[in-house]
Structures are given as structure tokens and as C-alpha cells.
Chains A and B, each alone.
Chain A
Amino acid sequence: EIVLTQSPDFQSVTPKEKVTITCRASQSIGSSLHWYQQKPDQSPKLLIKYASQSFSGVPSRFSGSGSGTDFTLTINSLEAEDAATYYCHQSSSLPQTFGQGTKVEIK
């Protein structure tokens, strides 16, 4: 099973600040890495697919990069509505797995 490790687990950020979340895979997964945002009491929403492809309707301040084992989700100029938990997800091999999540809090 491929283990995805996100860092940090928690981040408290001021509005307009830049946020960087990393996701490290226990083995190479190419670009089969996706990012989701989950706000409290809501279902997850797809932000980025295949490491760097923005999903339709997602604000341009969200971007992704990486390949192989190291991936990054960047939120440029954080807004209050971005308070959420962010998860990475690999679809390279079964079982599909998720990172443990990174909670982003607005200061």
C-alpha cells in the first residue's frame, strides 16, 4: 500500500498569505496525485487532478506541482473562505489512499 504523508498537519495563516502543503508518497506514483478541499460538515471537493491540473471552477489561487514522490499544493493569497482541511489522494495503485489531511486555519 502506498502511504501518503502530508505536512504540516496544521497551519494557522493570515489572509493574503501564501500557503504551501506538501504530500510525500512512499513510492513513485508518477503524476497520479489529486488534491481535495473539505470544509467543516461538507463533503470533499476536487481542487487539483494529476498533480497540476486545476479542476473546473477552482479559483486560480490554487495550484499544484510535483511528480514521482513529492507534491505540493499552493494557495496564493489565502482568503477567509479557504479555511478547510486539504487532502492528497493517489490513484496510481490499489488500494487508493489519502494523506492524513492538513488543516488550514485563518488567523
Chain B
Amino acid sequence: EVQLVESGGGLVKPGGSLRLSCAASGFTFSSYSMNWVRQAPGKGLEWVSSISSSSSYIYYADSVKGRFTISRDNAKNSLYLQMNSLRAEDTAVYYCARRGGTGTNAFDIWGQGTMVTVSS
């Protein structure tokens, strides 16, 4: 079964750090670009960051640029998001999402999400 499972969320104080992980299974992880998308409580979806299959191309939303770092370990079938200098407005459910195969930019597989709460 194709699956993405996020972990690492929790409660953190403003200015703190957190590292999210996304474990992939059921497909050849190293062949796919991956993304992080977040959803603040009661709000819509916001794209956060993307990374190409070989980590050659990395992009960030302006709202997280300079504070968040996306990375991946293809040997471990894992995607990461290092979040530093966290703010209250970073509070959200964070989803990892697979970009469909070559020529497909839709997000065809999503994890169940992990909640990040930034509060003092």
C-alpha cells in the first residue's frame, strides 16, 4: 500500500524549533518529488516547500523562507522539515504530499498530517 506517515509534531514555544518527518512506503520514494503543505486550524491549504527527487531543486513559500529547511534521505525513504524560529502563525497541521510522476504536478498521495502548535 502506498503510504505517507508524518511524525514529529507537538507543542513548542515561539522562537523554538521542531523537526517533522515523513516516512514513505509502498512506492519508489527516490523517484518522486515531495512537498509539505500546511493547514491552520479551520483554514485552507498552504503550500510550504518542495524538494525534487534527488534534492537538486528546493523551493519555499515566502512565509517560511530562511526559517524552514526541507530535506530527504532516499536511503531511508524519508522526508523532513526542520522548522526554526517558529511563530504562532506556523500553528497548523503539516502534511507531506507526493507529487505525481514525471509530468504530473498534482499531489496524488497525502499523509494523515501532524499537528504543530506554537504557543507560550
Which residues of A are interface residues toward B (Cβ below 8 A)? 32, 34, 36, 38, 43-46, 49-50, 55, 87, 89, 91, 94-101
> Interface 1/0s, chain B 22-57, versus A by CB < 8 A?
000000000000010100000011110010000000
The residues of A that contact B14 with a CB separation of less than 8 Å are: none
- B31 to chain A: closest CB distance in Å? 17
29 A–B pairs (Cβ distance < 8 Å), ordered by A: A32-B105, A36-B45, A38-B45, A43-B95, A43-B110, A43-B111, A43-B112, A44-B45, A44-B95, A44-B97, A44-B107, A44-B110, A45-B110, A46-B106, A46-B108, A49-B100, A49-B104, A49-B108, A55-B108, A89-B45, A91-B105, A95-B61, A95-B62, A96-B47, A96-B105, A98-B44, A98-B47, A100-B44, A101-B45
**A86 CA to B28 CA, complexed, in Å:** 29
- B2 to chain A: closest CB distance in Å? 11
| Smallest CB-CB A-B distances: 10 pairs | A91-B105, A49-B106, A34-B106, A43-B110, A96-B47, A98-B45, A101-B44, A46-B108, A95-B61, A100-B44
**A46 CA to B106 CA, complexed, in Å:** 8
Do A97 and B95 have beta carbons less than 8 Å apart?
Answer: no
Give the interface SS of chain A, mostly helix, strand, loop or mixed: loop
The residues of B that contact A96 with a CB separation of less than 8 Å are: 35, 47, 50, 105
**A96 CA to B36 CA, complexed, in Å:** 11
Considering only residues 83-113 of chain B, those with a C-beta below 8 Å from chain A are 95, 97, 100, 104-108, 110-113
**A100 CA to B44 CA, complexed, in Å:** 6
Which residues of B are interface residues toward A (Cβ below 8 A)? 35, 37, 44-47, 50, 59, 61-62, 95, 97, 100, 104-108, 110-113
The residues of B that contact A34 with a CB separation of less than 8 Å are: 105-107
- A31 to chain B: closest CB distance in Å? 11
**A83 CA to B24 CA, complexed, in Å:** 29
**A45 CA to B117 CA, complexed, in Å:** 24
Question: CB-nearest residue of chain A relative to B96?
Answer: A43
The residues of A that contact B37 with a CB separation of less than 8 Å are: 44
- B104 to chain A: closest CB distance in Å? 6
